[in-house]
Amino acid sequence: MRRTSVRRLYRPALAALLLCVAPAWAARLELQEGDYLGTRGLDVLVFNNYYDGNFSDSKIAGVELIHHGVRTATNGDVRLSPTPEQWDPVATLVERQVDRATGAIQARLRYDDPAFEYTIRVSPGDDGVRIQVLLDRPLPRALEGRAGFNLEFLPSAYWGKPYLADEGRGGLLPRYPAGPTGRGADGKPVRLPLATGTRLTLAPEDPQRRVSLHSHGGELALYDGRNQAQNGWYVVRGLLPAGRRGVVLEWTLQAGIEPDWTRPTVIGHSQVGYPPAQRRVAVLERARHAPPPGTVRLLRVEADGSTHEVLADTPHHWGRYLRYDYHTFDFSQVREPGLYRIQAEGQLSHAFRIAPDVYANAWQPTLDVFFPVQMDHMFVNEAYRVWHGRSHMDDARQVAPNTHHFDLYGQGPELDSPFQPGEHIPGLAVGGWFDAGDFDLRTQTHYATVLALVDTWERFRPLRDETRIDQQRKHVELHWPDGVPDLLQQIEHGTLMLIAQHRVFGHAIPGIVEPDLGQYTHLGDAVTKTDGRVDDHADPDSPRDDRWAFTTATTALNYGSAAALAAASRALRGYNDALAEECLATARRVWDFEQGREPNLFRVGNTTGGHPQDEELRAAVQLLLATGEARYAEAVARLWPAIDERFVFNAQPAVQALPHMDAAFRERLRQRAQRFLEERASMMEANPYGVPVTRGGWAGNSAVVGSAITHYYLHRAFPDLFDIGPVLQGLDYLYGTHPDSNISFVSAVGAHSKTVAYGNNRADFSFIAGGVVPGVLILDPDFPENKEDWPFLWGENEYVIELAARYVFLVHAAQEVLGELAPVQP
């Protein structure tokens, strides 16, 4: 009785809430130049973005809403379940058409099994947008009761807000998933809706988030997709009816607006601060319709909290980029060390320092925390906290040939292995880091990471010791010095994983990954993902939870691994001489083997090595640096076409080889570098940040860091051609001078940094200090995004070990070019 009476009181209260709010709906949407529908405060994207097939559901497709500057809804499409998971089926986009006369946009899509095609049409009207699903022929029988149109809403934009269905029925959208869930005839969970009806309104009290849906025919159902998976969204769904063709589903969508809404200006600046010798430019990202900005002021902050103006200026109008307008504020003339804030358009930036030592500690959380936490096959402890137990001690089983797997793994027709499918492979439960926010050991990432760490060691020799790493006990203690430089121990840990492959198979392998999606989506302590005991195939009750080793011997992987082993042999000498000798001998053997056979060019995604010639070049350079032998210098010269054609990727190894190359090679490299300056100019002028902002399903911080490091090496080789500016701009971009926000993309580094990220602790909406996220994802046609309140978008927020390692190098490089750290010659 109490429950009933509360519900009866609640319904009229919610209904009254609507009456108290004067509804303001978006004005008629018009077709914009980027071929989407929009008006001030609301844009409706219609298949401007779609999946590339690599990671299936990425939450960046179909019908999407950008509501008051925030992408709040996505995946408006026909799906085969109420709350689909990442790897559930998605249709293939066949074609997209835009009717410029009416503003209607439609997309043709196809499912292959069973064969099923449909059209989604979105058209503007006086009462919002009309969403229709059209069929040429009735649903296949196998899809009756399964196929429905879904539109997903971002939980962090709506949790705690009310919803209303027909007749005032409603509730609050839960912050944490709490059902409802039923039980099917097969005993498995059945996802039940929070509400049903022909009309549904989300956040009726909030004009910036209010969305109303009206179904002209069938029923709407509201689900909480997080009951199925932590990365699920709220889903509004309408089933497609059986036995019908033509328009089989039709919704009207209306969205609330604030009529005079203007997106607040973003003051892009470094959250870490600036050395006095560095050029300092803040970038103001502003709405296109905003009036010209007024004066921008730089304020000095004193110890008592008072401030005084040290510079005031009218910002320079840079122009339009993507959907925003940009102005720049150059305050390089202020060089006095101190604490400062920028005041612009009624805002105050976070405080930042101008000081010679602002970069001195910026790399330390990455080495002190992020890398130890990512260490596989180790127990990792920090004071009172256990990050994870001694994980994956049951590695690994042999995968079967011709296995098409998830996460870009695949096994070729040959095993290139002495083991039979399903057989345990001894010797692999050693070393390695969790590749990213997941737990696989991806070889291509590992050898790139080892190379970057060795570069840092040889170039700068940081002796910092904050971590106890015991390989014998497989035990790690954070903030517990053990007398050995941490960077050297991390090089050793990555090398142990690489050399284990050569010991076992005689070659590099793509990597080790979970056998099924149930394990792949595991969130929590890695030690609980498997039982840590080798499968006993003689025992039918033994769990088949051991990870799979993908073992194809591709030429690119072999060369890439050999490069890292040759580099590690130099770093490890004097610390672990036996391992150093083994690494160099192995790298030599791999080189001789690959030079004497037809290349194995089998490829699957990005797990089977990079471009074969690029990987060969790196192996040649690292072996040249390790041995000084002429045959490797000859190989570098022979591989000039790879340097020339893919200069942005291969300039660094080419420069590293210079001390062992002749004058003709140096002159050729100099001429190519001059051409690169011209090529770079147009790319850097394309945006106000002076760095390469890439597009694609994975955001571009890796390209930004890579470009900055390339310029560091070119500056070292040809200082008369390349200045230090691009090296420092890369860090400025990471630390907050970038589109969409001014957050530091390095967790726990800077006054305002990434604290909700895609690490293996993402279900806790938390972070790992020192991790570097991919950054700003540019969604077609013009929307930059990095969500700070939703960690599950891996293309924006997932840590990767290689980027972290190169970030450590870049911070040291910046200090060197600023004259604050003397180089150490290898």
pLDDT computed for residue 53 by the predictor? 67
pLDDT band (50, 70, 90) for residue 542: confident
Cβ pair 399, 550 in contact under 8 A: yes
> Quick one: which H or E segment has residue 653?
helix 647-657
Q: Which spans in 658-790 are helix H?
A: 663-684, 701-717, 725-734
Cβ pair 556, 607 in contact under 8 A: no
> Reduced to 3 states, what is the DSSP secondary structure of residue 82?
coil
Helices (H) and strands (E) in the chain, counts: 18, 40
C-alpha 106/C-alpha 95 separation (Å) is 9
Place of tokens 């439609």: 106
Alpha-carbon radius of gyration of the chain: 28
Domains of the chain: which residue ranges?
A: 2-255, 266-354, 364-817
Asked if the model's pLDDT at residue 5 lies above 50, the reply is: no
pLDDT computed for residue 543 by the predictor? 81
Between residues 292 and 1, which one has the greater pLDDT?
A: 292
Asked if the model's pLDDT at residue 250 lies above 80, the reply is: yes
Q: How far is CA 757 from CA 124, 432, 753, 800, in A?
A: 36, 22, 10, 11
Class of domain 364-817: mainly alpha
Amino acid, res. 259: P
Asked if the model's pLDDT at residue 481 lies above 70, the reply is: yes
pLDDT computed for residue 20 by the predictor? 44
| Residue (of 293, 270, 295, 265) closest to 280 by Cα position | 270
Which of 273-287, 461-475, 808-822 shows the lowest per-residue confidence on average (mean pLDDT)? 808-822
pLDDT computed for residue 605 by the predictor? 87
C-alpha 600/C-alpha 607 separation (Å) is 14
Report residue 587 as tokens.
């790298």
C-alpha 372/C-alpha 354 separation (Å) is 31
Cβ pair 419, 403 in contact under 8 A: no
Whether the upstream peptide bond of residue 543 has omega within 30° of 0, thus cis, is no
Per-residue pLDDT, averaged over 585-596, amounts to 98
C-alpha 675/C-alpha 330 separation (Å) is 29
Asked if the model's pLDDT at residue 149 lies above 50, the reply is: yes
Per-residue pLDDT, averaged over 544-573, amounts to 97
pLDDT computed for residue 823 by the predictor? 55
Per-residue pLDDT, averaged over 497-524, amounts to 96
Q: How far is CA 52 from CA 49, 214, 235, 594, 797, in A?
A: 9, 32, 23, 33, 19
Domains 266-354 and 364-817 share a fold: no
Per-residue pLDDT, averaged over 237-248, amounts to 97
C-alpha 174/C-alpha 155 separation (Å) is 9
Asked if the model's pLDDT at residue 9 lies above 90, the reply is: no
pLDDT averaged over every residue in the chain: 94
Place of tokens 């002209």: 216
> Reduced to 3 states, what is the DSSP secondary structure of residue 493?
helix
| Residue (of 701, 693, 728) closest to 804 by Cα position | 701
CATH of segment(s) 2-255: 2.70.98
Which of 396-410, 526-540, 541-555 shows the lowest per-residue confidence on average (mean pLDDT)? 526-540
pLDDT band (50, 70, 90) for residue 685: confident
Per-residue pLDDT, averaged over 359-388, amounts to 98
Following DSSP, what letter does each residue of 12-24 receive, concatenated? HHHHHHHHHS---
pLDDT band (50, 70, 90) for residue 759: very high
Q: Which pTM was predicted?
A: 0.95
pLDDT computed for residue 27 by the predictor? 83
pLDDT band (50, 70, 90) for residue 17: very low
Per-residue pLDDT, averaged over 133-155, amounts to 97
Per-residue pLDDT, averaged over 674-679, amounts to 93
CATH of segment(s) 266-354: 2.60.40.10
pLDDT band (50, 70, 90) for residue 825: very low
pLDDT computed for residue 181 by the predictor? 93
Per-residue pLDDT, averaged over 724-751, amounts to 97
- Strand duo 352-354 + 273-274: pairing: parallel
Asked if the model's pLDDT at residue 629 lies above 50, the reply is: yes
pLDDT computed for residue 19 by the predictor? 40
What does the H/E/C string look like for 723-739?
A: CCHHHHHHHHHHCCCCC
**Percent of the chain scoring above 70 in pLDDT:** 96
> Reduced to 3 states, what is the DSSP secondary structure of residue 476?
strand
Count of beta carbons in the 10 Å neighbourhood of residue 413: 8
pLDDT computed for residue 691 by the predictor? 95
Per-residue pLDDT, averaged over 654-667, amounts to 98
pLDDT band (50, 70, 90) for residue 797: very high
Count of beta carbons in the 10 Å neighbourhood of residue 596: 7
Each residue's pLDDT tens digit, 221-231: 999 999 999 99
Per-residue pLDDT, averaged over 681-703, amounts to 91
- Strand duo 338-344 + 347-348: pairing: antiparallel
Cβ pair 77, 108 in contact under 8 A: no
Each residue's pLDDT tens digit, 274-315: 999 999 999 999 999 898 899 999 999 999 999 999 999 999
pLDDT computed for residue 23 by the predictor? 63
**Percent of the chain scoring above 90 in pLDDT:** 88
Amino acid, res. 605: G
pLDDT computed for residue 820 by the predictor? 61
Asked if the model's pLDDT at residue 4 lies above 70, the reply is: no
576-585 contacts, C-beta under 8 A, 24 or more apart: 576/492, 579/492, 579/495, 579/496, 579/499, 582/499, 583/495, 583/499, 584/626, 584/627
The torsion region of residue 697 among left (phi > 0), alpha (psi -120 to 50) and beta comes to alpha
pLDDT computed for residue 821 by the predictor? 55
Per-residue pLDDT, averaged over 200-204, amounts to 97
User: What angle (nearest 5°) sits at the alpha carbon of residue 459, between those of residues 458 and 465?
Assistant: 70
673-682 contacts, C-beta under 8 A, 24 or more apart: 673/647, 673/714, 673/717, 673/718, 673/721, 673/722, 674/721, 675/647, 676/647, 676/648, 676/651, 676/714, 677/721, 677/722
Query: For residue 677, which phi and psi values (nearest 5 degrees)?
Result: -55, -40
Following DSSP, what letter does each residue of 670-691 receive, concatenated? HHHHHHHHHHHHHHHTTSTTSS
Per-residue pLDDT, averaged over 419-423, amounts to 95
Per-residue pLDDT, averaged over 543-570, amounts to 96
Question: Dihedral of the CA atoms 817, 818, 822, 825 (nearest 10)?
Answer: 0
Each residue's pLDDT tens digit, 105-136: 999 999 999 999 999 999 999 889 999 999 99
C-alpha 667/C-alpha 278 separation (Å) is 30
How is residue 265 annotated by DSSP? P
> Reduced to 3 states, what is the DSSP secondary structure of residue 310?
strand
pLDDT computed for residue 378 by the predictor? 98
C-alpha 780/C-alpha 258 separation (Å) is 25
How is residue 143 annotated by DSSP? G
Asked if the model's pLDDT at residue 21 lies above 60, the reply is: no
| Residue (of 236, 238, 201) closest to 218 by Cα position | 238
Whether the upstream peptide bond of residue 781 has omega within 30° of 0, thus cis, is yes
Buried b (16+ CB within 10 A) or exposed e, 154-170: bbbbbbeebbbbeeebb
Asked if the model's pLDDT at residue 10 lies above 70, the reply is: no
